[in-house]
Amino acid sequence: MPEGEAKGFGGDASVADALAELLSNKQRKQTVAVGVGDTLVDLSTRLDSLGQEKIELRPVLISSAEGLDILRHSTAHLMAKAVLDLYGPKVKVAIGPAIEDGFYYDFERETPFTPEDFESIEAKMQETVKGRVPFTRKVVSKAEAIALFEEKGEQYKVELLKEIEGDTVSLYQLGDFVDLCRGPHVPNSSWLQVFKLIKVAGAYWRGDEHNQMLQRLYGTAFDDKKRLKKYLNDLEEAKKRDHRKLGKELGLFTISDQVGPGLILWQPKGALLRRLIEDYWKEEHYRHDYELLYTPHIAKLDLWKTSGHLDFYSENMYSSMAIDDVQYQLKPMNCPFHIAIYKSQLRSYREFPLRWCELGTVYRYERTGVLHGLLRVRGFTQDDAHIFCRPDQLEEEIFNILDLNLNILATFGFDQYDIYLSTRPDKYVGSEAHWQKATDALEQALKKKGLAYQIDPGEGVFYGPKIDIKIKDVLGRSWQCSTIQVDFNLPERFEVNYIGEDGREHQPIMIHRALMGSLERFIGVLIENYAGTFPVWLSPVQARIMNITDAQADYCENIYQELRRSGVRIEKDLRNEKLNYKIREAQLAKVPYMLVIGDREAESGTVTVRERSGKNLPPMSVKDFAAKIKEECTAALG
């Protein structure tokens, strides 16, 4: 054992036999598999089959991430068995892995699965659970396995088998259901008590739209009921917060089939929300000594040859177009434009660092199947910036970027994140010494900022190391957001230079960075994080005026004009409707303040303020209300 305890075993002793001697009963009941070196094996594995005289066994607890993976993948087998038991041999099985938070299994079946089917499948699964059916592993020759699955008509398994290298494969049997699988699995079905089928979706075999469309049944499984319950609650909460649903209800954005998938159309309120973010972003960058650039959406195809995008990035780019017999290309990135601005004049070390930012709209190809609301789109606006500096300035620049980055995220309520430092991959450009220096600079900056981070070995881009920041929303979900990348490649390709102190030409370091990532995606995350209930400074509409009767209409009109002039984002609802009805509509629109106007307010020149929570504030003057809004915005923006 890793703790040092050791025992000798002989004959046909299995891992389970060893654990029975080495672990307490309680520990043993929670151990679902063991790690031997880098691999996980079943408890039923014979010790002598592991082929070592001394074997260190690392118990994998069912509640751990590895344990839950095994549990969920086993539940996928359990579900496939139930589906075949219920719907017979006409159903064909494809693959069924564990995924984050659960598992799925792909089936070929003519009739679509319905929610009623879910109940029958779950009931059938529970039957097997009660039967304590063992998962048995068998190693057979590949030919034998192919024959077996051919006989069952399971052509997907046969296709997979034909591509597997090696002569033997392992099969797992649960009752009469046999699956091609590497394992490991739980010892028997009684481990699989806590599960739930979640949804069904179409999925092409191997993700290729030329292949057969399959039905993907998603489910989840946990080691205890409480964890499942919490997960299902979170899922419900996430559904309520779906930015596509809220985006429609709140009139923020739309996507039109006539315009094209993955292309976002901002409606007035969404456009206002976006402008508020853009204005804040620009001001914050100005305060941090950045200069703003604007660049076009197309450039000559040759530019993208020089940049290397045509060689390394073409699958994400759209076809080129001819203008006066010269080929042009829609931009997938902003970097070459900023380099062109850099190269428009001779640069000296004295100018450094140059910090240039742009809200640059780029276009990248994504398959239709992966497009998703604001989160995966084909045209989006990066909050991009490029910093040109000397090597000795790199660490400080990274520190400054991190500072600005975390400031901006905090303003939007994000103060939980995971930070990754990605180092040199196998294929790379630039010298090893440069990589080392740059990686050290990134690491030093993180340390100086007092930030916890994880190293992602070999996950850097081919042109330089990078820092990625994943933010956590209120539901604890992670979103890839900021990225800071050092680049040795583009300055080389474009022969970017500056005159150093020594009067000679040197190559500057180029940093690419995006803090929010893209405005589309970031706003999608914001909508879900706030559940559409934006703080006052971000609310497209901060207050809505509503009269009790027509008698106050003129007064309402006056204060509407006054508030608008003083910069409050205001709306009016002067319809001849019951007040309660107007209030309910304002609440659904998630407007922070309702100004309720009756005779008393009109006579005294005041407004009665109702918060969206339902709380009423004492009557105040229109001026005081405008001041209150201004104060709240200032406080939020620090």
Which range in 128-136, 177-185, 443-451, 548-556 contacts Zn ion by CB under 5 A? Answer: 177-185
Residue showing tokens 């180092």: 423
Gap between the Cα atoms of 150 and 475, Å rounded? 46
Single out the catalytic residue among 335, 357, 389, 556.
335
Q: How many residues bind Zn ion (CB under 5 A)?
A: 3
For residue 168, the tally of other CB atoms under 10 A from its CB is 12
Find the shortest distance in angstroms from Cβ 185 to Zn ion: 6
Gap between the Cα atoms of 15 and 634, Å rounded? 64
- The pattern of x and - marking residues 132 through 171 that bind Zn ion according to CB under 5 A reads ----------------------------------------
Gap between the Cα atoms of 614 and 597, Å rounded? 16
Q: Which is nearer to Zn ion, 485 or 606 (CB)?
A: 485
Residues within window 458-517 making contact with Zn ion, judged by CB under 5 A: 512
Active site residue 512: yes
Find the shortest distance in angstroms from Cβ 333 to Zn ion: 6
Beta strands in 395-447 (DSSP E): 417-422
Active site residue 338: no
**8 A C-beta contact, residue 66 and residue 58:** no
Gap between the Cα atoms of 347 and 390, Å rounded? 12
Gap between the Cα atoms of 354 and 287, Å rounded? 14
Find the shortest distance in angstroms from Cβ 182 to Zn ion: 7
Question: Should residue 181 be labelled a site residue for Zn ion when binding is judged by CB under 5 A?
Answer: yes
Length of the chain: 638
> How is residue 563 written in tokens?
């508030």
Q: Where are the alpha helices (DSSP H) in 131-224?
A: 142-151, 155-163
**8 A C-beta contact, residue 532 and residue 414:** no
Find the shortest distance in angstroms from Cβ 551 to Zn ion: 60
Single out the catalytic residue among 329, 382, 393, 552.
382
Question: Should residue 536 be labelled a site residue for Zn ion when binding is judged by CB under 5 A?
Answer: no
Find the shortest distance in angstroms from Cβ 183 to Zn ion: 6
Active site residue 382: yes
Q: Which is nearer to Zn ion, 342 or 414 (CB)?
A: 342
Active site residue 386: yes
Q: Which is nearer to Zn ion, 183 or 524 (CB)?
A: 183
Gap between the Cα atoms of 480 and 497, Å rounded? 33
Q: Which is nearer to Zn ion, 512 or 582 (CB)?
A: 512
Closest by Cα among 152, 217, 210, 214 to 179: 152
Residue showing tokens 């991190």: 402
Active site residue 173: no
Closest by Cα among 163, 145, 149 to 206: 163
Find the shortest distance in angstroms from Cβ 181 to Zn ion: 3
Gap between the Cα atoms of 425 and 442, Å rounded? 16
Which range in 151-159, 276-284, 328-336, 344-352 contacts Zn ion by CB under 5 A? Answer: 328-336
Single out the catalytic residue among 72, 364, 521, 544.
364
Single out the catalytic residue among 77, 309, 386, 572.
386
Find the shortest distance in angstroms from Cβ 340 to Zn ion: 13
Which range in 138-146, 173-181, 245-253, 514-522 contacts Zn ion by CB under 5 A? Answer: 173-181
Q: Which is nearer to Zn ion, 145 or 181 (CB)?
A: 181
Residues within window 333-352 making contact with Zn ion, judged by CB under 5 A: 335
**8 A C-beta contact, residue 60 and residue 70:** yes
**8 A C-beta contact, residue 332 and residue 313:** yes
Q: Which residues are catalytic?
A: 335, 364, 382, 384, 386, 466, 512
Site for Zn ion, rule CB under 5 A: 181, 335, 512
